[in-house]
Structure 1
Amino acid sequence: MAAIEKRGNNSYRLTVSCGYDKQGKKIVKRKTIDLSYIKPNKQQEEVNKQWILFKDEVEKGIFMDAGKITFEEFIRKWLKDYAEPELAPKTLHRYKELLNTRIIPAIGHIKLNKLQPTHLVEFYNNLRENGIRNDAKPGGLSERTILHHHRLISSILTCAVQWQFILNNPASRVKAPKVERKEARHFDIEQTEYILSLLENEPIKYKTAIYMAIYGGMRLGELSGLEWSDINLDTGILKIHQSLQHIPGQGTFTKSPKNQTSNRPISLPKTVINLLREYKIWQNGEKSILENLWNDRCNNIFTTKTGDPIYPGTISNWFRKFIKRHNDKVINNDTISKDDKKKYLLNEINFHGLRHTSATILINQGLNVTTVSKPLGHARTSTTTDIYSHSLQKADIEAANKLESLFSKENTKNKKQG
């Protein structure tokens, strides 16, 4: 029995003998690999290396037979060998939720090498059915959520191909759920000015946080993770280099930002710097009141009442309640007419919408994509373009109208002179 057999143009079957069973039957482990990515004159050298590695896996008892393992078994291996060492904690937590709540229960039992595109299509259609939602709301999952499932499955199966458990990825032959691109939810300039005016009567800690989110365009985790040493109150330069996150069961912790470009400086205007100075004075007052009860080891800008790092959701939850509290007050105010109430009501947009607000306003003021993407910390300008395509389109139309107006005036002027 040959240890290495060529099965096709670029396909090879590896065979390793590993003793005999109780009935005296020879135990054989086999594995088929695809070397189409290797030049023909280098394939024999590569297949010999792969056979040695395969033999070592079999002898150590760590070989998983691709013909016998289920999709769930491979997922567990993927989590242990790749996801847990490589992925950010929050990303890993979100992936495990998708895997454990729906993917594994639905298709985890299928043999890895038997998983077909039709299985995935049926699974996605099931996610669209009424009653599938955990929140008990009518209807199925959104196409965006289904797309998240598809991308995760495809990523895992791509890994299975790379690790040579399967020859191709069945998810690549499934049409990805189509998601309609929507404009990122944000406040317009008028509502933003209105919000800033309303904050004058709010606690200084939250007032400062909202100002920084609007003027700095930072993520919630980045804002929550800021320390006083990260900002120079003389120059107005703020350095983003970490993010505060909370994961159920793991608690609150600090991590490096989303990507390398997320490590970035942000210039804050004098309005925000002056507010930060005022807030620091207030915080020092809180320290002096609590004395030994204050956590002196924490240097965070935003803290709990005892000086510990703030739970990230505290700021976003406060902002949500702030919007609701204001809107309820307007709705219940009988001195304001029904028509006028619409002018005072704020759109119910979450905290992340402040980041979109910051970027959208900058774009509408004529700043180019490259300039806007830097303070946002996007790894690629294409990310900024994708998220704010609607705003960029509006800015382009406005620019075209300005040009038309300019040249129309010039033509009128020339006619008069002629």
Structure 2
Amino acid sequence: MLQIKSYTKKNGKTYYKFQTYLGTDETGKVVRAARQGFATRAAARKEAMRLKAEFQEEGYQKPTYETFEEVYEFWFESRYVNKVKESTAVKTKELFKNHILKDFGKMRITAITFAHCQESINKWSKKTTKTKSMAGYCKRIFDYAIYAMEIIKKNPMDGVDIPKLKKTSKEDYAFYSREELEHFLECAKQEENPKWYVLLRLLSFSGMRKGEALGLQWKDINFENKTISINKTLARGEDNKLIIQTTKTTSGERTISLDDKTLEILKQWRTAQRLDYLKLGMNTNKPTQTIFTNLNNDYIQHAHLTTVMDRIVKKHDLKRITIHQLRHSHCSLLFEAGASIKEVQERLGHSSYEVTMNIYTHVTKERKEETAAKFANFMGF
């Protein structure tokens, strides 16, 4: 009996899978087959009929998965891609393509040894900071080959030594002081397009992530309650396409307060946006309108915002920090203003205390160093 069912992937596309009875083998054991990933119901039915005809002619031939790449592809489609966000799946696929499969892809999975694994780990650690994650993915592939496919007996990743990452430097947690941030935003005001000042002001005074800001819609801002709801993020999906998905924050949506001046700047931008697009024949007067868009009223590329930030820094000879480090700046200034670690963690949507504490520790260390310098300058000897 053939059963065909539809299912929806994270990217919203509908696919089909089937389970069918083929017959019995020479021992009398019932043989069934299941497949998934078909774009149409007809394609799923065609493959099921092919398998049944093949079984009747030759008996059931259990598929073999000999290379690491073959096992990886089967694991990715059956155990991974439907359980994570699309952007996460894309990043994982890139790790395999750019690093893991270059070493293991064409090797027979039964031939991969502990020595092969350790050698690759050592090589990856010199090229990327993702070595620990990559080792974890490899371990999952080998475990799948052991427990689900029963084609190897031992995981060659067991016991490998993963080199420790170098300690974070000052540059990793660079941020602007209150005075530096004020000067930076004054420089941003001089940009020809006022959109960039509004966006950079919002990032600086909310601490939200770049993708979260680029995915915002006007309905997410409550001007009466002076709050903003952060519940989605602009990410990159399959085929480099920009997509909206749930925010990185593990607890889901978070709502934070905004100061009066930032809210007033946003109100002014909403009016300007409506007038600018009306001149181009586009009506943006709707709650679902994205707050920051390009000339065609489409999403802004992440890299474009980075380019704008770099241009402002270079043009005005400012201290070099990244867009993400504006988030660090907000975090450090919150601590300076007296906010608790718990308050900062919730406002920024950090997944754990550890992330918040890393910045807190760095900020307090900087302050201690400044205190010593102030004393020495005062004493003068």
TM-score by length of 1: 0.66
Query: How big is the shift at 1:105?
Result: 2.2
* Cα separation, 2, equivalents of 1:155 and 1:363: 40
Q: Which amino acid aligns with 1:92?
A: A
SS, match of residue 280 in structure 2: helix
SS, match of residue 94 in structure 1: helix
Q: Which runs of 5+ in 1 are unaligned?
A: 1-16, 21-58, 129-139, 328-345, 402-418
SS, match of residue 308 in structure 2: helix
* Cα separation, 2, equivalents of 1:222 and 1:363: 22
* Cα separation, 1, equivalents of 2:145 and 2:307: 41
Give the alignment of 1:276-291 within 5 angstroms. Answer: 276-291=266-281
Q: Which amino acid aligns with 2:277?
A: K
Query: How big is the shift at 1:206?
Result: 0.7
The 3 A distance-change label for structure 1 pair 158 and 361 is: farther
Give the alignment of 1:156-235 within 5 angstroms. Answer: 156-160=141-145, 163=148, 165=150, 166-182=152-168, 183-202=172-191, 203-235=193-225
SS, match of residue 171 in structure 1: coil
Q: Which amino acid aligns with 2:218?
A: W
Tell me the residue number matched to 1:264: 254
1:376 pairs with one of 333, 348, 353: 348
Query: How big is the shift at 1:354?
Result: 1.1
| 8 Å contact kept, 1:246–1:311 | no
Query: How big is the shift at 1:192?
Result: 1.3
Pair 1:76 & 2:73 matched: yes
| 8 Å contact kept, 1:71–1:112 | yes
Q: What is the percentage of aligned positions where both structures have the same residue?
A: 23
The 3 A distance-change label for structure 1 pair 100 and 360 is: same
2:233 pairs with one of 232, 236, 243: 243
Query: How big is the shift at 1:250?
Result: 4.3
Post-superposition Cα deviations, 1:257-287, rounded to whole Å, max 9, x if no partner, equal 1244241001111121011011111112113
Query: How big is the shift at 1:117?
Result: 2.4
The 3 A distance-change label for structure 1 pair 221 and 175 is: same
Give the alignment of 1:237-386 within 5 angstroms. Answer: 237-247=227-237, 249-291=239-281, 293-294=282-283, 299-327=289-317, 346-386=318-358
Tell me the residue number matched to 1:117: 114
Which deviates the most, 237-246 or 88-97? 88-97
Post-superposition Cα deviations, 1:155-210, rounded to whole Å, max 9, x if no partner, equal 43455455364555432411112112314232233321211221232232111111
Tell me the residue number matched to 1:391: 363
| 8 Å contact kept, 2:226–2:258 | yes
Query: How big is the shift at 1:224?
Result: 0.5
| 8 Å contact kept, 1:127–1:141 | yes
SS, match of residue 251 in structure 2: helix
The 3 A distance-change label for structure 1 pair 276 and 19 is: same
| 8 Å contact kept, 2:25–2:60 | no
Length, aligned pairs only: 311
SS, match of residue 175 in structure 2: coil
Q: Which runs of 5+ in 2 are unaligned?
A: 1-23, 28-58, 373-381
Tell me the residue number matched to 2:131: 146
Query: How big is the shift at 1:125?
Result: 3.4
| 8 Å contact kept, 2:334–2:344 | yes
| 8 Å contact kept, 2:121–2:162 | no
* Cα separation, 2, equivalents of 1:367 and 1:158: 45
| 8 Å contact kept, 2:229–2:254 | yes
Moved over 6 A (4+): none
Which deviates the most, 172-181 or 209-218? 172-181
Q: Which amino acid aligns with 2:177?
A: D
Query: How big is the shift at 1:347?
Result: 2.5
TM-score by length of 2: 0.72
Post-superposition Cα deviations, 1:221-270, rounded to whole Å, max 9, x if no partner, equal 11011000000112210001111123472422211112442410011111
Q: Which amino acid aligns with 1:216?
A: S
Q: Which amino acid aligns with 1:152?
A: Y
* Cα separation, 1, equivalents of 2:131 and 2:235: 25
Post-superposition Cα deviations, 1:58-109, rounded to whole Å, max 9, x if no partner, equal x975665xxx632222111111112221122222222212212221121223
Post-superposition Cα deviations, 1:103-146, rounded to whole Å, max 9, x if no partner, equal 11212233334432211221233446xxxxxxxxxxx514x243
Tell me the residue number matched to 1:409: none
* Cα separation, 2, equivalents of 1:74 and 1:392: 48
Q: Which amino acid aligns with 1:154?
A: K
* Cα separation, 2, equivalents of 1:151 and 1:389: 29
Q: Which amino acid aligns with 1:197?
A: E
Which deviates the most, 112-121 or 157-166? 157-166
SS, match of residue 293 in structure 2: coil
SS, match of residue 239 in structure 2: coil
* Cα separation, 2, equivalents of 1:387 and 1:18: 63
| 8 Å contact kept, 2:234–2:244 | yes
Query: How big is the shift at 1:349?
Result: 2.0
The 3 A distance-change label for structure 1 pair 263 and 160 is: farther
The 3 A distance-change label for structure 1 pair 70 and 290 is: same
| 8 Å contact kept, 1:224–1:302 | yes
SS, match of residue 195 in structure 2: helix
